Structure 1
């Protein structure tokens, strides 16, 4: 039953099994000292080469076993891997680090969001200098108030559990499907994108490219936004991702430029098609000389490599006008529209 399901283990973004609150933990590689440690904790091993396994009868007991193993790994300098199996089953889930498995069990609601698609997309308009809508950014939101979540917190917990790639891909595919239902050809679709979720660009993004093809959409309508919830550590890898996406006709954007982890220097090295200036710089810029210098510097550098500048978080017309006068060509913010469900938006077709 759904109420008894405690975790869904993922491999390559797909659900492999739904585990009940009775089952067994399998460990490898195990040692005699580990068996002795678990016996001291009151557990008898059911050895089955090359693994050893311990049964559990509740989620709390499962978490206790994982906690004991994590502490053992720390004290003894070992690196036991763990896998889960339903009671009576010979088939186990994929092998994970103990800390990742513990995170997945503790954050089973994150897994449910991914597998059961407990999310939807809201879209926020992006306008040009004439305030004409040229596209929309797709934003992840909970589909039910009964299963609410904060998107930033959801991704943070997914990262701790090793599931951020699965969540990122699920959100991206859902945004593509939503765009196919609600937007006409020629309207830009800005979709958030975590570079750390794409270790092997050709393989990992293949499902994304196939989805666009299956829905008979034009790749030139898509803009993938690199969202900087993390520092860009491997510029060369991200440049490779840019090349792969651009090879499919998809444009690239760098989000939150000028704040957080996204520096102007990284922008100049990556040379995205769209540069999104962070809202913290845009808000109140009309009356702030420091922010004005920042905006002008970003715009000047973007123009040097042909990037289009989009200013985020625009709430005041005077800020919008300053940015336009400085060379920005696109804008997004409450001044032009809040994020809404596509069905609630007017004039999309």
Structure 2
């Protein structure tokens, strides 16, 4: 689909999209721990391009919240009792004036999501400046007070990532696929991953994304990574 000719207003208003879900694997119990929701359109549009166009058109908040609502709606009811649901959210959405009302409405419509949903904050370079605003940290506290968990997405071994973790300790930290690709062959990457799962960050749970080979999976487990995600484990799919 050519997003230049895609009517995002109609897509949002008429909910012309759906969600697929990818499992997060618990390495200690060898079972599914949670699922992450991904927005999909038919015909397929790259979600990164979809949200890029939404930002340019000034409807990023509307698309982001519509995607969150739909993920909750399409997540099988029985799954919430067994598996957490990870939903992606942009920093600009979190600090939007209407966001508290959106969250309160979501809880009214789906009471069962309390303590079962993880808001996974998108690590988009275009939105990095929002992290520095005091209002942003207040909104994270608001989400926690409402019974949600917080995850930082696509972090890497950089001072910026480490500072974000120390500034506001998330419940989950998802390490970018650059940390996992060829993990079995890179001592440097193994040291970086081991650093994140050390006692330095014992208050958070680490998720390593981008697991695509058995060798990388085995090394990640040896390093003590609690949760893994990637095509080798399972691709996103309808539930």
Shorter-chain TM-score: what band?
A: 0.7 to 0.9
State the SS of the aligned residue for 2:192. Answer: helix
What is the CA deviation profile of residues 87-143 of structure 1, one whole-angstrom value per residue up to 9, with x for unaligned ones? Answer: xxxxxxxxxxxxxxxxxxx7661222211211100000111013201110000011x
The residue aligned with 1:169 is 65
What is the CA deviation profile of residues 287-341 of structure 1, one whole-angstrom value per residue up to 9, with x for unaligned ones? Answer: 102211221222237624x000111111122222222222311111112211001
CA distance in 2, matches of 1:302, 1:133: 26
The residue aligned with 1:24 is none
* Structure 2 residue runs without a partner (length 5+): none
Change (3 A) 1:189 1:218: same
The residue aligned with 2:36 is 137
Alpha-carbon offset, residue 261 of structure 1: 11
| Structure 2 contact 24–229 (Cα < 8 Å) conserved | yes
State the SS of the aligned residue for 2:228. Answer: strand
CA distance in 1, matches of 2:58, 2:160: 23
Alpha-carbon offset, residue 185 of structure 1: 1.7
CA distance in 2, matches of 1:291, 1:340: 29
Q: Does 1:178 align with 2:80?
A: no
TM-score (norm. length: structure 1): 0.62
Taking the TM superposition and a 5 Å limit, the aligned residue runs for 1:92-171 are 109-129=7-27, 130-142=29-41, 144-145=42-43, 148-171=44-67
Alpha-carbon offset, residue 267 of structure 1: 2.3
Q: CA RMSD in A?
A: 2.3
Equivalent pairs counted in the alignment come to 232
Q: Does 1:338 align with 2:231?
A: no
What is the CA deviation profile of residues 55-79 of structure 1, one whole-angstrom value per residue up to 9, with x for unaligned ones? Answer: xxxxxxxxxxxxxxxxxxxxxxxxx
What is the CA deviation profile of residues 189-215 of structure 1, one whole-angstrom value per residue up to 9, with x for unaligned ones? Answer: 0000111123346x4132233223323
Q: 1:274 aligns with which of 151, 172, 187?
A: 172
| Structure 1 contact 229–261 (Cα < 8 Å) conserved | no
| Structure 2 contact 157–192 (Cα < 8 Å) conserved | no
State the SS of the aligned residue for 1:223. Answer: strand
| Structure 2 contact 153–176 (Cα < 8 Å) conserved | yes
The residue aligned with 1:250 is 148
Q: Does 1:321 align with 2:218?
A: yes
Q: Which has the higher strand share?
A: 1
Taking the TM superposition and a 5 Å limit, the aligned residue runs for 1:1-349 are 109-129=7-27, 130-142=29-41, 144-145=42-43, 148-181=44-77, 183-200=79-96, 203-230=98-125, 231-233=127-129, 234-235=131-132, 236-258=134-156, 263-300=161-198, 303-304=201-202, 306-342=203-239
State the SS of the aligned residue for 2:135. Answer: helix
| Structure 2 contact 95–139 (Cα < 8 Å) conserved | no
| Structure 1 contact 226–252 (Cα < 8 Å) conserved | yes
* Structure 1 residue runs without a partner (length 5+): 1-105, 343-349
